[in-house]
């Protein structure tokens, strides 16, 4: 493309909140056939809210909340913020935590009021050599509503579950429909549970899901698709997404996300508005058409 046509395209993009880093990003974006999208914070608002606390027999709701929130005080994960805020809203006082440890893609561990406590997903449960109880049924009903369920583990048994909801972005349904119309294959990649991922994907007409993936898996999934000859863009917002954004032919970061994600991306959607992906594609097409 001529420098002039690229300047026009990037200028138009910028006005609409779509920051295109350079000519290369624009040129590459025109050839993309596959779009990988992160779920939390990319398809969803990324502002989860605590919706339910389900104690295991012999435990009280307030105790489950107190253990969960006291531990999550040490975490910066959006799920942690939701649990802490929801607990404070319910007027439950926090205890004292020590030996905090974040387990990437799985949850958190530590000591609360002198007892070993862990909080996280099925992978964390498996790491601790534990199995889900009858509560799993209730957990599945929540997941089918698109919620994220986490187990609260006290010493060697499950004390209960906490569940959070993170609504889909207003811009997501129309943007994904338009992207399908433009011929993209859209694949959701998420560290969240498969059931939750399916529920969210179904609302958005996404046909492929890679759930329960660890951060390093996202970059690997992209590499494999590239080896099959696909041209892959990745949209994400988190620190966890940075390697995948860098691996993709074009990385698309949410301006609302982590700085390292933005630095790794060729395109930034200033307000995280997914319509920006459609706009970027149209700008790329128009620019390339001008010069052929
Ligand atoms: P993503 O942003 O793709 O959903 P993450 O890798 O950040 O994925 O997290 C994957 C899963 O690990 C979460 O859905 C949750 O079950 C668990 N998890 C991660 N961090 C925490 C945390 N601080 N508290 C509870 N669960 C967590
Ligand atoms: Mg995310």
Q: What is the pLDDT of residue 52?
A: 96
How far is the C-alpha of 153 from the C-alpha of 210, rounded, in Å?
Answer: 27
Q: Which of 146, 229, 149 is nearest to 188 (CA)?
A: 146
Domain span holding position 177: 3-45+168-291
Whether 106 and 129 share a structural domain: yes
Ligand 1 pocket, mutate which of 68, 100, 105, 123 (most atoms under 8 A from CB): 105
Q: Are strands 250-254 and 267-269 parallel, antiparallel or unpaired?
A: parallel
Whether 78 and 184 have beta carbons less than 8 Å apart is answered as: no
Whether 114 and 95 have beta carbons less than 8 Å apart is answered as: no
- Of 144, 165, 186, the last residue of a domain is 165
Tell me the C-alpha to C-alpha distance, in Å, between residue 155 and each of 55, 111, 116, 117, 189.
15, 9, 5, 6, 32
Whether 75 and 188 share a structural domain: no
Whether 142 and 287 share a structural domain: no
Tell me the C-alpha to C-alpha distance, in Å, between residue 26 and each of 7, 36, 262, 266.
11, 17, 16, 8
Tell me if residue 166 is catalytic: no
Whether 71 and 208 share a structural domain: no
**Per residue in 279-289, pLDDT tens?**
999 999 988 87
- Of 165, 192, 224, the last residue of a domain is 165
Q: What is the pLDDT of residue 1?
A: 65
**Per residue in 225-257, pLDDT tens?**
999 999 999 999 988 899 999 999 999 999 999
- In this structure, the residues whose C-beta lies within 6 A of any atom of ligand 1 are 38-40, 72, 75, 77, 79-80, 105-108, 119-121, 148, 150, 190-192, 215, 238, 240
Q: Which parts of the chain register pLDDT below 70? A: 1, 291-292
Ligand 1 pocket, mutate which of 77, 108, 146 (most atoms under 8 A from CB): 77
- Among protein residues, the one with the nearest Cα to ligand 1's atom 13 is 192
Whether 135 and 179 share a structural domain: no
Q: What is the pLDDT of residue 109?
A: 97
Whether 131 and 225 share a structural domain: no
Work out the number of other CB atoms within 10 angstroms of the CB of residue 62.
Answer: 15
- Of 165, 183, 207, the last residue of a domain is 165
Q: What is the pLDDT of residue 6?
A: 84
Q: Which of 287, 276, 284, 292 is nearest to 37 (CA)?
A: 276
Count structural domains, the chain: 2
Q: What is the pLDDT of residue 192?
A: 93
How far is the C-alpha of 260 from the C-alpha of 242, rounded, in Å?
Answer: 6
How far is the C-alpha of 121 from the C-alpha of 151, rounded, in Å?
Answer: 6
């Amino acid at each position: 493309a001529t420098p002039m046509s690229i300047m026009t395209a990037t200028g138009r993009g910028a006005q609409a909140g779509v920051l295109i880093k350079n000519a290369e990003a624009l040129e590459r974006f025109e050839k993309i056939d596959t779009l990988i999208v992160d779920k939390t914070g990319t398809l969803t608002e990324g502002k989860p809210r605590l919706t339910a606390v389900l104690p295991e027999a012999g435990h009280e709701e307030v105790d489950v909340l107190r253990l969960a929130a006291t531990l999550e005080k040490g975490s910066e994960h959006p799920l942690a913020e939701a649990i802490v805020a929801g607990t404070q809203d319910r007027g439950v006082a926090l205890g004292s935590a020590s030996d905090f440890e974040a387990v990437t893609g799985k949850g958190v561990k530590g000591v609360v009021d002198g007892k070993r406590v862990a909080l996280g997903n099925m992978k964390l449960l498996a790491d601790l050599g534990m199995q889900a109880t009858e509560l799993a049924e209730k957990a599945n009903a929540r997941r089918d509503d698109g919620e994220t369920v986490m187990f609260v583990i006290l010493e060697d048994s499950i004390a209960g579950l906490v569940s959070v909801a993170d609504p889909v972005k207003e811009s997501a349904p129309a943007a994904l429909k338009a992207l399908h119309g433009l011929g993209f294959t859209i694949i959701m990649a998420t560290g969240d549970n498969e059931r939750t991922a399916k529920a969210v994907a179904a609302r958005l007409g996404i046909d492929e899901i890679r759930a329960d993936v660890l951060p390093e898996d996202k970059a690997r999934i992209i590499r494999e698709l590239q080896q099959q000859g696909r041209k892959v863009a990745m949209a994400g917002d988190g620190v966890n997404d940075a390697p995948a954004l860098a691996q993709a032919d074009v990385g698309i970061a949410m301006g609302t996300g982590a700085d390292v994600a933005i630095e790794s991306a060729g395109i930034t959607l200033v307000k995280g508005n997914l319509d920006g992906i459609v706009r970027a594609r149209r700008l790329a097409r128009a620019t390339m058409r001008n010069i052929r």
